[in-house]
Structure 1
Amino acid sequence: MKKALLLHSSREGQTVKILRAMEKTLSDEYQCELVDLHSASSVNLADYDKVLIGASIRYGHLNKKLYQFIETHLSILKEKKAAFFCVNLTARKPGKDTPEGSVYVKKFLKLSPWQPELIGVFAGALYYPRYRLFDRVMIQFIMRITGGETDTTKEVEYTNWDKVTEFSERFRSL
């Protein structure tokens, strides 16, 4: 059976949840391994037929370790069938949920030496009750500015699961 490596850089877990859904779509054809990118130093990308990296935005930025990982593994990422997706709350708005409309993807492509052939953008989730006080207040402030949910007792999932399945199918056919 072919092997797919599903790497994540996730803060609150929505990126992992999205990868798990993708794993279900891929599992009939691929043996999938889900790995935290932040602890993936011992993973040999050459052992996999495909590589998928999912990363979340926090306060407008992707984690620096994502870029370090890409630089370390750049040559193999360019050789492999590899894809990338970004998870953020801005993608809850129409037009911001595409690679062309996402400021975060544009920034990623500008900063990254790796230019994936397949890129996705998915809306994340608000988990107010799970956040530390500082994060809860900051995220609430950002949501107030952007016209989003501000009730800190709520958990709201914005992820479009049909879009996730569609991306999984596109990744499978790479």
Structure 2
Amino acid sequence: MARYLMIYHSREGQTFKIMSRFAEQLKATDHEVELLALPELAESFSLAGYDIAVIGASVRYGHFSPLLYQFIERHHHALDAMTSVFFGVNLTARKPEKNTPETNAYMKKFALKSPWVPDLQGVFAGACIYSKYTWYDKAVIRFIMKLTKGPTDTSKDYEFTDWERVDSFALKLAQLSSK
């Protein structure tokens, strides 16, 4: 079985939830999995010893974290030499016409900005967790949701993740083989 490195960058926890779901399913099929948070990785971190890398990151205010791009800049040669996967999590993906790497604006921006070309990509709708936002973030996100016809009741949290799509992607991950 393969040894998977699973790196995530999650702001409110939804990307972590999705990556954890992938990890559970991979472990259930006897793959070895190491789950790590991107902000906790040292600059000297090495991808050596892993067969497959899976990186997941969330979008906040229209951008993936600079930490993601810094990691990719340091490791894109190693990522390109191994089987690698990238998925993004954002609220735009809650709309069916914007929930594929080819139709999601943030995934298209990622493809243009990143020197790394993953073997497999995915995009999933995240969650709007008003209860975790600062007053300012709540106001801005509420305004964005109003513009995009999303929920604006800040007394509630909203999870848009399609867990069937997540499980389907997990099956694709389990079927990957090393380069």
Same fold (TM over 0.5): yes
Ranked by relative contact order (alpha carbons within 8 Å, sequence separation 6 or more), the top structure is 2
- Matched residue, 1:159: 161
**Letter in structure 1 aligned against 2:19:** L
- Matched residue, 2:103: 101
CA distance in 1, matches of 2:60, 2:108: 16
Question: What is the Cα-based RMSD across aligned positions, in Å?
Answer: 1.1
Ranges of 4+ aligned residues in structure 1 off by more than 3 Å: none
**Letter in structure 2 aligned against 1:11:** R
- Matched residue, 1:26: 26
Structure 1 spans left out of the alignment, 5+ residues: none
CA deviation after TM superposition for structure 1 residue 35, in Å: 0.7
CA distance in 1, matches of 2:163, 2:77: 32
CA deviation after TM superposition for structure 1 residue 105, in Å: 0.6
Could you tell which deviates more after superposition, 92-101 or 2-11? 2-11
CA deviation after TM superposition for structure 1 residue 89, in Å: 0.3
- For 1:121-140, what aligned pairs fall within 5 Å after superposition? 121-140=123-142
The alignment's TM-score, normalised by the length of structure 1, stands at 0.96
- Matched residue, 1:71: 73
- Secondary structure of 1:115 counterpart: coil
Q: What percent of counterpart residues are identical?
A: 48
CA deviation after TM superposition for structure 1 residue 55, in Å: 0.4
- Secondary structure of 2:96 counterpart: coil
1:172 matched to 2:174? The reply is yes
- For 1:108-127, what aligned pairs fall within 5 Å after superposition? 108-127=110-129
CA deviation after TM superposition for structure 1 residue 29, in Å: 2.3
Number of residue pairs aligned between Structure 1 and Structure 2 = 174
- Matched residue, 2:13: 13
- Matched residue, 2:3: 3
